[in-house]
Amino acid sequence: MGGNEPAGRFLDAAIRLLERVRDEEAANIAAAGAAIADTVAAGGRLFAFGAGHSSLAAQDVVYRAGGLAVMNLLAVPGAVGVDVMPATLGSALERVDGLAGAVLDSSPARSGDVLIVVSLSGRNALPVEMALNARALGLKVIGVTSVAYATGTTSRHASGTYLRDHCDIVLDSKIAVGDAELTAEGVEAPFAPASTVVTSALMQAAVAAAVGELAARGVEPPLLRSGNVDGGHEWNGRIMTEYADRIFYRR
């Protein structure tokens, strides 16, 4: 890496993690893809939720070229990223009891839909209650989390449970507690987090599995094309018209 040894070490660490989830999570990714395909084929809707930096992976599969048009972001105001001031407020909102229930009750999500909940630690009240309440409403819940946190940290939910405990399917990102891949002499804190790389890859892998499953069933996947290729806008206009009752991010 041009003499920048930490950069190369980080990329190597990220590659190793991607290889692990490819090899160790294959069955769970296939199950997630099948669940998504079942919902799309049945006329249901898809939702993705994440708080803080975990929202990046959720956003990555919404309104995305090559992605499923019926995937919608389930957003919690103030918890979507670092756009709120102060940024620490977003972290505080993840610990608020009852917030997830209020968001779900006012959302278009209904029984038979799929909700993907992304939370690296899976220990805070917001993702735990989002999964718990969604299942109570009849949604199928896919959790994308690091299972290591469930044994290496203390839950912040009153039940003492974690996101993984309230999911139909769990995709384990294999990220170590602390989410920092590197250490270096003279640097007091570990650095170079890889959770976004791996979690986004897991999300895209699940979508890819769903597309393959739909195609195998003879169902046309409702995919978006890039608006930067000729004919892309026309294609997307047709898809959005055809699936208008299952798309909520443009209203």
Model confidence, pTM: 0.94
Q: Does residue 1 register a pLDDT over 60?
A: no
Within 10 A of 23 (CB to CB), how many other CB atoms are there? 8
Q: How far apart are CA 114 and CA 120, in angstroms?
A: 19
pLDDT tens digits for range 132-176: 999 999 999 999 999 999 999 999 998 999 999 999 999 999 999
Amino acid at position 238, single letter: R
Amino acid at position 39, single letter: T
Q: Alpha carbon of 107 to those of 18, 54, 114, 217: distances in Å?
A: 33, 20, 13, 30
Within 10 A of 180 (CB to CB), how many other CB atoms are there? 17
Distance, C-alpha 35 to centroid of its chain: 15
Contacts of 110 by beta carbon, 8 Å cutoff, 6+ apart:
45, 137, 138, 139
pLDDT tens digits for range 165-210: 999 999 999 999 999 999 999 999 999 999 999 999 999 999 999 9
